[in-house]
Structure 1
Amino acid sequence: MTSIELDALAFSARIAFVTVLISFPLAMLAASWTGRRGLKGRWVLDALLLLPLGVSPAVIGWGVVSLLGPEGPAGDWLSKGQGWQAEITPHGLVLVAFCLVLPLMIRTMRPAFEAVDLLQLQTARTLGATRWSAWWSVTVAQTAPMLLSAAALGFAAAWGESGASVVLAAALQARWPQTAPDAATVPLTLLSAMQTERGQAIAFRLSMVSLGVALAAMLLSEWARQRWRRRALPLDARGVSR
């Protein structure tokens, strides 16, 4: 592989890792909260949290540019007041990936939180555990496999995200050329390589690596999900006859 390909692979892995690192605790808390029984207005909250899943990634990219670009309301305030300017890499790429990965992880985690045994939580509280320690020792312990499943899915989604990234890169480069990136993710590098005849080999190799990363993530996610099903659900709920 060329240095460009290796740099793209390393950069994509870093973007995906940081995105999951930021998204994971927020998704876990949101899924735990919305998974509570009897929560009023939950369906409205669910719709808002999961809205990015029904929106084109290009819209997410445009929203990030409009909000955090040098001429955007938040971008202008951050630049003048805080001396910070959003860039395509890594800030913008992490942000657009975060917007798409967070609802996916919430959606994956929530069934596990909904299936938590409340009797065990109540027992832990009667034995002297605080609400926080009971949540960690009971809720997180019961949902751990699905948390791993969500993290694997989130990593794959952040690695392969391209729609929002393309819009982000194109918009920032067209309007503010000085923000041009010094590194690119695998999808962006692959798209650039496909535009030249010599780049077909690069595109093929990057596609194969991306396929391998996605397959590994899906296998890990499915293994973890099945592990949770065997632990948390009765045989009838798993689709297994007695």
Structure 2
Amino acid sequence: MNAQDWGAIALTLRLAGVSTLLLLLLCVPAAWWLARSRSRLRPLAEAAAMLPLVLPPTVLGFYLLLAFGPHGPLGKMTEALGLPGLAFTFQGVVIASVLYSLPFVLQPLLASFRAVRQEELESARLLGANRWQRMRHVILPSCRSGVLSAACLGFAHTVGEFGVVLMIGGNIDGETRVISIALYNQVEQADYGSAHRLALLLLLFSLAALTAVYWLNARKNE
């Protein structure tokens, strides 16, 4: 592998790490609300969060590009604040990745939170634990495998993203060129040897990530 390939790998791992951390911070409270809420808006909120499962990534990337562009609402807001634009930047790709990988983190968390027994929460509440303490000492420990599965799936899905990253980030070396885009470039250039190495790397990584998820689920069911 050449320096550009290693740069793409490093950028991909950085993107996946940052996105996964943000996804966990966002999805843990969101999943708990969806799991316990009786609001009439809950089905709509859950459907909106799961939309990337069926929405083509280029569609999401297209609308994000419009929003982040100089004439879009987010583009105008960042310009008014004196901040750099988000289109074709690493920060923009992070936002796009968080939105696109949201269902893959939210689903395992939802399944785990819905399995938490109400008796455990009531016992903790009677012992004087507040909401944060119940989340920290009861809910998250009992849902550890679900949280780890969510992190694995979110990380792995971000590593394999292509369409949404290409739409919002383009193909900028060292800024937005992740592994999947580097692989696409090599195929376009008929450099099949290099493309094979990157494709095999992604294949093995995906297999390892899914094996970890199924192993965690098997341990939870023991």
TM-score range, shorter chain: over 0.9
Which of 187, 190, 201 is matched with 2:183 structurally?
Answer: 190
User: What's the secondary structure of 1:86's corresponding residue?
Assistant: coil
Seq. identity, %: 29
Write the distance in 2 (CA, Å) between the matches of 1:226 and 1:82.
50
Give the paired residue count.
Answer: 221
Which runs of 5 or more residues in structure 1 are unaligned?
A: 174-179, 231-242
Tell me if the contact between 2:7 and 2:174 (Cα under 8 Å) persists in the aligned partners: no
Rg larger in structure: 1
Tell me if the contact between 1:190 and 1:203 (Cα under 8 Å) persists in the aligned partners: yes
User: What's the secondary structure of 1:82's corresponding residue?
Assistant: coil
Which of 224, 228, 233 is matched with 2:220 structurally?
Answer: 228
Q: Please say if 1:34 is aligned against 2:34.
A: yes
Which runs of 5 or more residues in structure 2 are unaligned?
A: none
The equivalent of 2:69 in structure 1 is 69
Matches within 5 A, 1:59-138: 59-138=59-138
Tell me if the contact between 1:52 and 1:100 (Cα under 8 Å) persists in the aligned partners: yes
Write the distance in 2 (CA, Å) between the matches of 1:150 and 1:48.
18
Q: Please say if 1:207 is aligned against 2:202.
A: no
Write the distance in 1 (CA, Å) between the matches of 2:218 and 2:37.
24
Q: For residues 133-158 of structure 1, what are the alpha-carbon distances to aligned partners after superposition, in whole Å with 9 as ceiling and x for unaligned?
A: 01221111111111100110001100
Tell me if the contact between 2:67 and 2:75 (Cα under 8 Å) persists in the aligned partners: yes
Aligned letter for 1:206? L
1:181 deviation in Å? 5.0
Write the distance in 1 (CA, Å) between the matches of 2:157 and 2:6.
20
Aligned letter for 1:19? S
In structure 2, the CA distance between the partners of 1:42 and 1:150, relative to structure 1 (3 Å rule), is: same
User: What's the secondary structure of 2:12's corresponding residue?
Assistant: helix
In structure 2, the CA distance between the partners of 1:212 and 1:124, relative to structure 1 (3 Å rule), is: same
Tell me if the contact between 1:36 and 1:114 (Cα under 8 Å) persists in the aligned partners: yes
The CA RMSD over aligned residues, in Å, is 1.7
Q: Please say if 1:11 is aligned against 2:11.
A: yes
Write the distance in 2 (CA, Å) between the matches of 1:194 and 1:13.
22
Question: Which structure 1 residue ranges, 4+ long, deviate > 6 Å from structure 2?
Answer: none
Write the distance in 1 (CA, Å) between the matches of 2:93 and 2:41.
33
Tell me if the contact between 2:109 and 2:146 (Cα under 8 Å) persists in the aligned partners: yes
User: What's the secondary structure of 1:35's corresponding residue?
Assistant: helix
Aligned letter for 1:9? I
In structure 2, the CA distance between the partners of 1:13 and 1:66, relative to structure 1 (3 Å rule), is: same
Q: TM-score, normalised by structure 1?
A: 0.85
Write the distance in 2 (CA, Å) between the matches of 1:47 and 1:145.
24
In structure 2, the CA distance between the partners of 1:95 and 1:41, relative to structure 1 (3 Å rule), is: closer
In structure 2, the CA distance between the partners of 1:39 and 1:138, relative to structure 1 (3 Å rule), is: farther
Write the distance in 2 (CA, Å) between the matches of 1:114 and 1:193.
45
